[in-house]
Structure formats: structure tokens, C-alpha cells
Amino acid sequence: MERSNESSGNFILLGFSDRPRLEMALFGVSMIFYFLAVTGNSTIIFLSLMDPRLHTPMYFFLSNLSLLDLCYTTSSIPQLLANLWGPHKTISFVGCVIQLFAFLSVGGIECILLSVMAYDRFVAVCKPLHYLSIMHPQLCLQLAAFAWLSGIANSILMSPLTMSLGRCGHRRINHFVCEMPAIIRISCVDTSRVEGLAFFLAIPIVLVPLTMILVSYGYIAAAVLRIQSAAGRRKAFNTCSSHMVVVSLFYSTIIYMYMQPGNVASQDQGKFLTLFYCLVTPTLNPFIYTLRNKDVKAAVWKALGKDRSLPDAGGHG
């Protein structure tokens, strides 16, 4: 009977249920970080739309990143909070599909979007005189659309294949979210084809963008070394430092999370890394990009009705 209900029954997200005391602490911490993530990323999107000083390629891509972070946290954290608060750890089949689709989509989009942002920084540092003519609005829209469509296409392909794997009545997912490795682990059939396809798609979705990021920063490093003045080097570093920090957080978490063997200890580590990736990183991103940025500070004061004209920061974050 359970087998016939595989496509309609609820799943049980075990999450951190083996650590009841930890659940209460995680509930409070997650609630705070979720509020900060939603507030910070919504603010970035609002300011990027409303303030003319932020109508630049960098903030256009940053607002796309903020929208991604909002989608990511909203698809997983409310369910996590509900499961941490109450004794029931269930999620509907449809809810699980939505989470899986969101995770696969957002992960793919972010990989490509970060490479696009690296190219934007490459043009800003290596070809500053031609920056606006190269990074024109039409190209920015095309690059952003390519990132979104590629990530969504990857998810449209992989989500149904993952959810269609036979589970033989297994409904207990050893995670707090429906992500692909956790769903594959409860399958009772051969998953090598699905895993092989996922590995194959990781080449254009993950490895190619990472290569482009490394190449872009290789050219940026060479250009910075040719700058004679310390002030010029510092300006170039400030242009790229925020993006480098975000790229490091994103890829180090993803690579470590998916390169671990399938033992229990690594599964527990995977839960905390996933929590970091879908909660802490989206919270930190707005602060990383805007902490020292005069344009954003000026936009905030203007939005609060206290317009304070600050020296032009050149759009650098």
C-alpha cells in the first residue's frame, strides 16, 4: 500500500530530531538569521530598483543574487522552523518536490551568476574605459536570463528523475530538507544513471562557471600587479573583494558538502553545511557586498528621507 502512495504520501524529515536540545537552540538561531536574510536581501532589491545611483551592472547582478537567496531561504527555512518547533516532522510530496526543484534551480543559477559577476569585475578592472560600452543593459539582461534559464532547465530535468526513483515505501529522509543526495539515499533501486547524469550536468553548471571565475581573477590579479600606485591597487581590490568572499563561501560549502562519503558522520556534517548554505550565506551576502559601500549607504539614507550626498564610490563593492 505504501508503494502505491509513493507519489502522494508525506515524507518524514528527520532533520535534527536525534538532538532535541539542539532543536530548540536551532529554532531561535534560525528564526533570527531568516529574518535578517529576508530583510537584508529585500532591502538590496528595493534599493537597486529605486535609487538611480544603483542602476549599474554590478547592482543589477547583485539584486538577482539577492532574489536567489530569498527563493532559497523561503523554500526551506519556514518548513525547518515548523519541524523544529513541533513534534511532527512531515512534509507533503508536493512540498518535497518544490524544495528539490528550488534547490537544484537556485544552485545552478548561482553558479552561473557568480561567473557572470566575475566577468563584470574583470571588465571593471581590466577594461575600465570601455566598461559601460561592454556591460550595456541588453548584455546584462541576456547574461542574467541565461543564468536563470540554465538553472531552471537543469532542475526541470533532474527533479522528476530524482522523485521517480523507487523508494519501496521508504519515507524517512535523513535531512531537514528535500535535497537530491538525501532523496537518492532512500531509493531502493539502482541510482547510478541518475547520479551519472547529475555528474555530467555538473560540468556545464558547476565546473565551467568555476573555471571562468578562476580565469577572470587570473586576469584581474595580473592587471592589479601592473598597477603602480598603492591607492590604485586598493581600489581594484575593493572592486573585487566582496565577490571573492561570496564565491569562496559558496564553492567551499558546495564542494565539501557533495564530496563527502556516505557515512553517518558526513551526513550530519552535510546537514549543518546545508543549513549554513541556505541560511547563513544568504544572510551574510548583503552585508558582505554593502558593508563598506558608500553608494548603498547613501541609498539607505535617501530611502529613510535623509538624503546625504556622499562622494561617488564608482559602483565598487
CATH code at 248? 1.20.1070.10
Please report the pLDDT score of residue 236 as a whole number: 77
Measured CA angle at 67 (ends 62, 73), to 5 deg: 125
Measured CA angle at 176 (ends 203, 99), to 5 deg: 55
Domain contains 308: no
- The whole-model pTM stands at 0.86
Q: How many domains is the chain built from? A: 1
| Cα gap 28→15, rounded to integer Å | 16
Query: What cell was used for 291?
Result: 558593508
Please report the pLDDT score of residue 233 as a whole number: 82
Between the alpha carbon of residue 185 and those of residues 58, 90, 228, the distances in Å are 40, 18, 55
Domain contains 317: no
The percent of residues in the chain predicted with pLDDT above 90, rounded, is: 46
Domain contains 180: yes
| Cα gap 237→241, rounded to integer Å | 6
Q: What average pLDDT does range 88-102 have in this prediction?
A: 91
Helix (H) or strand (E) holding 13: strand 11-13
Q: For residues 66-89, b (16+ Cβ closer than 10 Å) or e, as one string?
A: bbbbbbbbbbbbebbeebbeeeeb
Domain contains 21: yes
Domain contains 312: no
pLDDT in tens, 101-145: 999 999 899 999 999 999 999 999 999 899 999 999 999 999 999
Task: Give the pairing type, strands 172-173 and 11-13.
Answer: parallel
Q: Which one is predicted more confidently, 255 or 30?
A: 30
Domain contains 316: no
Domain range enclosing 148: 3-303
The percent of residues in the chain predicted with pLDDT above 70, rounded, is: 89
Q: How many CB atoms lie within 10 A of CB 241?
A: 17
Query: What cell was used for 162?
Result: 530524482
Look at the block and give the residue holding cell 521508504.
Answer: 170
Helix (H) or strand (E) holding 11: strand 11-13
Q: What average pLDDT does range 33-44 have in this prediction?
A: 93
Domain contains 240: yes
Assign 45 a pLDDT band (cuts: 50, 70, 90).
Answer: very high
Domain contains 255: yes
Q: Identify the CA nearest to 206 among candidates 107, 282, 281.
A: 107
Q: What average pLDDT does range 196-203 have in this prediction?
A: 90
